[in-house]
Homo-oligomer: A and B are copies of this chain.
């Protein structure tokens, strides 16, 4: 059995190794003959004088190459350009002061057995090409090498973002750094920093120090931290988009500055999550004086041309309760509270412009009275993006890319800014859609778990934003993602590295492979399905099995693929894979059984462990011949029962067993 299985896997491997594993897939790739060897004599040269940022990029590239190969490549004095294994020909010889939306990111990478030549118009284009080159390098029967190719590449969308909410749970500087390192690897180019909310005001203000002093328990970024992160991101060709959410989500602003509020205080940091009432008072002229100073300070700190004012989820309750505000609405003919919010946005807009920025907000800010140079980020639905584009506003899609929904990489991958409701748009209108953003809200996510909620799935989203629209094969995406995910380990990402330590912490004496088998079988639910189980707070413990479980697991996906192949064409190899996995699942509960008394964190998931054994037993029985339709129907009903949400997870193998039963 083993030998036949091995033979099968061997063939699979040979097929997989035949082409380079890249993500995002380049716009154009041609395979050529041969390969360029990468060894410790690997040298890099510049065809033209390199600006400092490019020199730093080369140093960083070499250390990434060292990490991903284990080969001690040194940055030694450039040899003659002809003898360098990698020649960088970047036309940009004077650096820009900061990264700009729409800047040229294209590059051309030609690899021959003698040399790789990376040509680009800009430093940013070079950065993108270096990451492609790194992904080309892999081990083979003789050495590490990059296959000979010609790649001509440029992004589909100019705005390819990732948002992190650092208010619900603070994310220390190293988390942001490693996120930027990982973003660079997959060519994401905007880090959207959700800095302020009811749960925290996470940036130091020298002008209004009570914002961060009273708006956090000391967990905030100093301005020095911010400058460091901006320069760190800039080196990687990533823009930093700051968000200061207003006029709602503002409780932490009002603790130290209650005179800006729409209702009398006192105000406090809110340690729970949801939509709360504290709101700036748009009828108070002091609010605009305050915002002018604050936005002035922050506009000087953050160099990006865009400034995100949030604008989402204003409850209007305090506006409704405040007679002065109601009188103002009447007096200014604003109709209602949404009208007042538009008034507020119209007052904020010139302040933002005065400080040299363009205004951006969530789709709630969309209103015909606002000028066309504001940018709208659609989070409520895809339709708002379509409406914005039709009305001539530029916009981004975030709806469908909410990472806290913990969907599979395949699910995120299938969302496209141009499909669904966007199909009604004219070609001219589609130009208003500049890209999208993956959004990592952190209500139930800690610095320890954030990586596994972002990665590797954000690499699939990055491909959606970068690669041609025709790139839609989910199976092919997963094949590449399962390789790329381990490349990210060498960039400091912790989605793989934190897994075992978290499992061992749950039950130190239990065999870790049995813990993994259980955790791999669990798809944790997204935030939208968790409320029925428990109300999350800032101090909720995130050390449970549901926090360690990563979902979308390779073992379950491989099982599903094997079943589909086997159902299409029965063969011993696939049947062996299916049977082996089912037996592993069925036996796992007995392996864990002795350890449930040792840990309440493990005991909590004992029901799931039992259910895993049960569903595996159904699957094994289904492999046997001679079952009638009634038996299948009964087992399917039982499987559907086991597939229901339980303890904030779904038992993923039920998907595979359902497939087997539905045959």
Which B residues lie within 8 Å of A595 (CB)? 10, 13
- CB-CB contacts of A503-518 with B at 8 A, as 1s and 0s? 0111111000100000
Contact B599 A141 (CB under 8 A): yes
Say if the beta carbon of A19 comes within 8 Å of chain B. Answer: no
Interface string of A61-72 (1 = CB under 8 A from B): 000000111111
Q: Do A591 and B486 have beta carbons less than 8 Å apart?
A: no
Which one, A301-309, A387-395, A461-469, A494-502, is touching chain B?
A: A494-502
- Does A291 interact with chain B (Cβ within 8 Å)? no
Give the segment of A160-168, A321-329, A359-367, A534-542 that binds chain B.
A534-542
Q: Name the segment of A1-9, A147-155, A560-568 touching the other chain.
A: A1-9
> Of B16, B72, B598, which contacts A17 at CB under 8 A?
B598
Min CB distance A145 to B, Å, is 11
Q: Does A222 contact B (CB under 8 A)?
A: no
Q: Give the Cβ gap from A390 to chain B, nearest Cβ, in Å.
A: 46
Q: Are B13 and A509 in contact (CB under 8 A)?
A: yes
Q: Per-residue CB proximity of A340-358 to B under 8 Å, as 1/0?
A: 0000000000000000000
* Bound CA span A489–B500, Å: 10
Quick one: which of A74, A217, A505 has the most chain B CB within 10 A? A505
Q: Is A594 an interface residue (CB 8 A)?
A: yes
Interface residue ranges of A506-533 to B (CB < 8 Å)? 506-509, 513
Whether A72 and B446, one on each chain, are in contact in the complex, defined by CB atoms closer than 8 angstroms, is: yes
Interface string of A443-458 (1 = CB under 8 A from B): 0001010000000000
Bound complex: CA of A235 vs CA of B138, how far in Å?
43
Find chain B residues with CB under 8 A from A541 CB: 40, 70-72
Q: A6-B590, A13-B595 are in contact. Are A72 and B539 (CB under 8 A)?
A: yes
Determine whether A543 belongs to the interface, using a CB cutoff of 8 Å to chain B.
Answer: yes
Chain B residues positioned under 8 Å from A501 (CB to CB): 486, 489-490, 496-497
| Given contact pairs A539-B74, A599-B140, A599-B141, A69 touches B505 in the complex (Cβ within 8 A) | yes
Kindly state the separation between the CA atoms of A70 and B544 in the bound complex, as whole angstroms. Answer: 9
In the complex, A593 Cα to B540 Cα: how many Å? 47
CB neighbours of A40 from chain B (8 A)? 539, 541
- Please give, as numbers and ranges, the residues of chain B lying within 8 Å of A513 by CB-CB distance: 513
Contact (Cβ within 8 A) A598 B70: no
Residues of B within 8 A of A142 (CB): 600
Which chain B residue has the least Cβ–Cβ distance from A497?
A: B497
A601 to B543, CA, bound (A): 37
User: Does A143 touch B at the CB level, under 8 Å?
Assistant: yes
Q: How far is the CB of A100 from chain B (nearest CB, A)?
A: 32
Chain B residues with Cβ below 8 Å from A294 are none
Q: How far is the CA of A541 from the CA of B40 in the complex (A)?
A: 8
CB-based contact A17/B502 at 8 Å? no
Say yes or no: B496 contacts A68, CB within 8 Å: no
The answer to whether A91 has its CB under 8 Å from any CB of chain B is: no
Would you give the shortest CB distance from A519 to chain B, in whole angstroms?
14
A3–B591 CA distance with the chains assembled, in angstroms: 8
- A67: chain B residues at CB < 8 Å are 448
Interface 0/1 of A580-592, CB less than 8 Å to B: 0000000100110
Instruction: Name the residue on B nearest A486 (C-beta).
Output: B504
A500, A501, A504, A590 — which one has the most chain B CB atoms within 10 A of its CB?
A501
CB <8 Å contact, B483 and A508: yes
Q: With the chains together, A505 CA to B538 CA distance in Å?
A: 38
Q: How far is the CB of A17 from chain B (nearest CB, A)?
A: 6
Judging by beta carbons under 8 Å apart, are A603 and B141 in contact? yes
- A139 adjacent to chain B (CB < 8 Å): yes
Q: How close is A251's CB to chain B, nearest CB, in angstroms?
A: 19
Q: Is A97 an interface residue (CB 8 A)?
A: no
A509 touches B16 (CB 8 A): yes
Q: In the A-B complex, list the 4 residue pairs whose CB atoms are closest, starting with the nearest.
A: A70-B543, A10-B594, A489-B501, A139-B599
25 CB contacts below 8 A, A to B, read: A2-B591, A3-B593, A7-B594, A9-B594, A13-B594, A17-B509, A17-B598, A67-B448, A68-B505, A70-B502, A70-B505, A70-B541, A72-B538, A72-B542, A76-B217, A139-B506, A139-B508, A139-B600, A140-B600, A141-B599, A486-B501, A486-B504, A486-B508, A489-B500, A496-B500
Known: A13-B509, A140-B600, A141-B599. 16 other contacts (CB 8 A): A3-B590, A6-B594, A9-B594, A13-B595, A67-B448, A70-B505, A72-B539, A139-B507, A141-B597, A141-B598, A141-B600, A143-B600, A486-B508, A489-B504, A490-B501, A497-B497
